[in-house]
Amino acid sequence: MNIQENVDIKNYSTLKVGGVFRYFVTIKKKEDLPSLYAIAQSDVRYKSIPIFILGGGSNSIFSDGVLNVIATKIDIKGFEVIKEDAEYAEIRAGAGEIWDELVGKTVEMSLSGLESLSAIPGVVGATPVQNVGAYGAEVKDSIIEVEVFDTFDKTIKYLSNNDCKFGYRDSIFKGEAKGRYIITSVVYRLSKLSPKIPKYPDTERYFKEKNITNPNVKDVRDAIIFIRSNKLPNPKDIPNVGSFFKNPIISKDIADQILINYPNAKFFPIDERNTKIPAGWLIENAGLKGKSFGKVAVYDKNALVLINTGGATKEDIIKTKNEIIKIVQDKFGIILEQEP
C-alpha cells in the first residue's frame, strides 16, 4: 500500500482550496480497506491520525495548512448488470466510477432514472451521501442498495434504501453515521420504460425549441447537459463546488410577505404550510449576483454558485459565505445554510 506524504489538496478540490493532506492513499479494491485500517492502527507513524474519505472533491471545502489525516481516495471501479427483467435493470457501480460516465452508460442502454442527473461532477460513491438531486430527480429514487465498509467492525455491509435515511441533500452518511461507513459500491434500479420528463421551465423551453414532443432518455440527458453548461461553471475552467447554499424551506406566511414586494418571486411548494425558495433568487435579489469579495465571487450567471477567482483560502470562502448570509438575512429575514 503506497501511502504518500504531504499531498496538495488543490488537486482533489474542484474549488481549488486547501493546504496539504499529511498522508494520502488510493484504494482500488474494497479488500484493501481492512489492511489500510490495520496499518493505520499498528504503524506508529499513523497512530491516532484519522482516515478521511475523499470523493471527487466537488462538494467539499478543505482547510488551509496541513490536514492531519490519511486522505483516502476511493478508486474502486466496476459496472455490472446484476439483475434484469422486461421492465427494470439493476446496475452495480463501483464507488470510484465517475458519476457522469455511469449516467452516460445507462442512457446509452436506454435505461431511465439517472438521465436528469447528467453532468453532475463527482464520483458514484458520493451520490448517496448528499442524495444528489437535480431537475426533479433525486438519486434516492433509483438506489436500492449501498455496499459499505463498516469502520466499526471492519466488515462489508449492505444498506437498503430505507437504511440510508435519505432527505433533501441529506442521508445517514451525513448524519448519525457520519464517518462510520465507507461506500464501496451502489446498486441502482433503472427502468426500461419511458423516462419521467422533467417539468422545469428550462427543460420545457429546450424541448419546445428543438421540436421534441416525446423526449427519450437521450433527449433528456442532452437537454440537461445543455442547460447545466449555461448555468453552472465547469470546475475545470472556473473553480467551484456547484450550489453553495441549500434552497431554504420557509413558511407560506413568509413567502406571502415576500410576494408583496416581489410579485414575480418563484416558490416550490412542499406541503400545505411550507415552500422552498431558491437561494439563488434570494442572493440575486439581495443585489449580490456577480459581486466580488476579494478572491471569491458570486458567479455572474448563477447567484447560487461561489467561484474562486484565484488563490482563495478557506478563510476567504468562509468570510464571503458569512457576508452573503448576513446580507440575505438583513434583507429577507431568511438564514441561508451552506450546502457543500
Q: Specify whether the CB–CB gap between 40 and 70 falls below 8 A.
A: yes
Instruction: Answer yes or no whether residue 284 interacts with ligand EPU by CB under 6 A.
Output: yes
Number of residues that bind ligand EPU (CB under 6 A): 18
Neighbouring residues of 223: CB distance < 8 A, sequence distance ≥ 6: 198, 203, 206, 207, 215
Burial class of residue 251, CB neighbours in 10 A (0-12, 13-18, 19+):
exposed
> Would you call 188 helix, strand, or coil by DSSP?
strand
> Which H/E stretch holds residue 297?
strand 296-298
Instruction: Answer yes or no whether residue 304 interacts with ligand EPU by CB under 6 A.
Output: yes
Instruction: Answer yes or no whether residue 280 interacts with ligand EPU by CB under 6 A.
Output: yes
**Is there a catalytic annotation at residue 147?**
no
Instruction: Answer yes or no whether residue 131 interacts with ligand EPU by CB under 6 A.
Output: no
Instruction: Answer yes or no whether residue 170 interacts with ligand EPU by CB under 6 A.
Output: no
Indicate the angle between helix axes 99-108 and 217-231, nearest 10 degrees: 150
Closest CA to 192 of 79, 86, 100, 83: 86
Neighbouring residues of 228: CB distance < 8 A, sequence distance ≥ 6: 118, 119, 120, 134
Instruction: Answer yes or no whether residue 331 interacts with ligand EPU by CB under 6 A.
Output: no
Q: Specify whether the CB–CB gap between 297 and 290 falls below 8 A.
A: yes
What residue has cell string 482516515?
Answer: 51
Instruction: Answer yes or no whether residue 128 interacts with ligand EPU by CB under 6 A.
Output: no
**Is there a catalytic annotation at residue 243?**
yes
Instruction: Answer yes or no whether residue 205 interacts with ligand EPU by CB under 6 A.
Output: no
**Is there a catalytic annotation at residue 84?**
no
Q: Residues 169, 171, 185, 221: which is the catalytic one? A: 169
Determine the interface stretch with ligand EPU among 3-11, 143-151, 238-246, 255-263 (rule: CB under 6 A): 238-246
Instruction: Answer yes or no whether residue 339 interacts with ligand EPU by CB under 6 A.
Output: yes
Q: Spell out, one character per residue from 78 to 107, where the chain touches ligand EPU: x when CB under 6 A holds, - when not.
A: ------------------------------
Name the residue nearer to ligand EPU (CB basis): 112 or 184.
112
Instruction: Answer yes or no whether residue 289 interacts with ligand EPU by CB under 6 A.
Output: yes
Burial class of residue 150, CB neighbours in 10 A (0-12, 13-18, 19+):
middle
Instruction: Answer yes or no whether residue 302 interacts with ligand EPU by CB under 6 A.
Output: yes
Catalytic residue set: 169, 243, 339
| Positions that interact with ligand EPU (CB under 6 A) | 134-135, 231-232, 242-243, 246-247, 266, 278, 280-281, 284, 289, 302-304, 339
